[in-house]
Homo-oligomer: A and B are copies of this chain.
Amino acid sequence: MKYGARNTITAKVVSVKKGEVMAQVNFQVDKPCTMASVLTTESVEDLALAPGDEVILVIKAVNVIPVKE
């Protein structure tokens, strides 16, 4: 199983809240992991990103797809 996405993180379901149409699921990620971001080169230069820098990775919950293998 190979995904055309750079981030595939093992997680455990903590809670499920179901609405009529949409639902929110919370997860716990226990192990250290790697992540990747694709952005404009212009943005990378604006942030002057370099190895060792600490950042916050902001991800909207709608962009997180849980998969059960």
Contact = CB atoms under 8 A, between A and B. Distances in A.
A69 B6 CA distance: 16
A35 to B, nearest CB: 5
Given A41-B20, A44-B4, A32 B29 contact: yes
Contact of A56 (B14, B21, B39, B67): B67
B60 A13 contact: no
Contact of A57 (B6, B21, B44, B66): B66
A21 B67 CA distance: 21
22 contacts: A3-B43, A9-B35, A10-B55, A15-B51, A16-B49, A19-B19, A19-B22, A21-B24, A22-B40, A23-B43, A23-B44, A24-B36, A24-B40, A24-B42, A25-B36, A27-B37, A28-B34, A29-B32, A37-B64, A47-B66, A55-B67, A58-B65
